[in-house]
């Protein structure tokens, strides 16, 4: 079982209760980060900016490039909706993209509440994978693993296990997809950190086991 402190579980329980009380069925990015941190699920560095100066400061602290996404309890961010932007840490690039995200959000949903802009670390190129969980009407909580990005849509190469999974079961999922060899490194590409990847699968499976009210989790990176 994932070692999760009692206070962290209570923090997740309180957050989910607050979201339900607002009548929402999806989390904002900062709320998702709170849950990920509680369960030790690795996510890129990020921070919430409420104005341009904060966005620039967060981007500089994260280093390199950052991704800017609108944070709103009323908008589920997609590139074709509120929009997301890549930005350098320098103010000439970051500032207009920060205000541009807000304008796009207002254009898409004029009455939406906007909490600010999520400034998220842009990770270097690597093998994209998807780790997630869904609720099956017959079997209950099911954890999923497969290649991520556009590959999950094209190849649909995903494997499933009933949650929670053990460390050995999580590791076996990495070998169960048809493209498992890619994870070991092909044509000079480095192999993935198999232990770290399996651990993320295990932690997601424990999260949805502890909180069955979470209908779906999707980590695609």
Tens digit of pLDDT at every position of the chain (221 positions): 456 889 999 999 999 999 999 999 999 889 999 999 999 999 989 999 888 888 888 888 888 788 888 888 877 654 434 444 444 444 445 555 555 555 555 555 567 687 888 888 888 888 889 999 999 999 999 999 998 877 667 778 899 999 999 999 999 999 999 889 989 888 878 888 999 999 999 999 999 999 999 999 998 76
Residues 105 and 150 placed together within one structural domain of the fold: no
What are the structure tokens assigned to 67, written together?
């991704």
CATH number at residue 107: 3.30.1490.20
Helix (H) or strand (E) holding 125: none
- Count of residues in the chain: 221
Tell me the residue range of the domain where 91 lies: 45-122
Q: Is residue 22 part of a domain?
A: no
CATH number at residue 199: 3.30.470.20
Q: What is the pLDDT of residue 83?
A: 41
Residues 114 and 156 placed together within one structural domain of the fold: no
- Total tally of structural domains belonging to the chain: 2
How far apart are the C-alpha atoms of 98 and 71, rounded to whole Å? 11
Sheet holding 158-162, edge to edge: 158-162, 140-147, 129-136, 217-220
Query: Which tens digit of pLDDT belongs to each residue from 112-144?
Result: 687 888 888 888 888 889 999 999 999 999 999
SS (H, E, C) 95-142: HHHHHHHHHHHHHHCCCCCCCEEEEEECCCCCCCEEEEEEEECCCEEE
> What's the pTM?
0.82
């Amino acid at each position: 079982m994932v070692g999760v402190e009692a206070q962290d579980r209570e923090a997740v329980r309180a957050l989910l209760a607050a979201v339900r009380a607002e009548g929402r069925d999806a989390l904002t990015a900062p709320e998702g980060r709170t849950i990920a941190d509680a369960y030790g699920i690795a996510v890129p560095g990020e921070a919430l900016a409420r104005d341009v100066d904060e966005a620039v400061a967060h981007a500089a602290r994260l280093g390199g490039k950052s991704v800017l996404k609108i944070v709103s309890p009323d908008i589920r961010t997609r590139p074709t909706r509120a929009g997301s932007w890549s930005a350098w840490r320098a103010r000439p690039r970051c500032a207009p993209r920060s205000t541009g995200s807000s304008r796009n959000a207002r254009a898409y949903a004029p009455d939406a509440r906007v909490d600010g802009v999520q400034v998220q670390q842009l990770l270097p190129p690597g093998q994209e994978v998807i780790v997630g969980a869904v609720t099956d009407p017959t079997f209950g909580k099911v954890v999923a693993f497969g290649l991520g990005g556009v590959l999950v849509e094209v190849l649909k190469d995903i494997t499933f296990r009933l949650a929670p999974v053990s460390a050995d079961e999580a590791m076996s999922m990495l070998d169960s997809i048809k493209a498992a060899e890619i994870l070991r490194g092909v044509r000079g590409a480095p192999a993935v950190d198999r232990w770290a990847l399996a651990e993320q699968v295990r932690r997601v499976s424990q999260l949805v086991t502890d909180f069955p009210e979470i209908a779906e989790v999707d980590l695609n990176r």
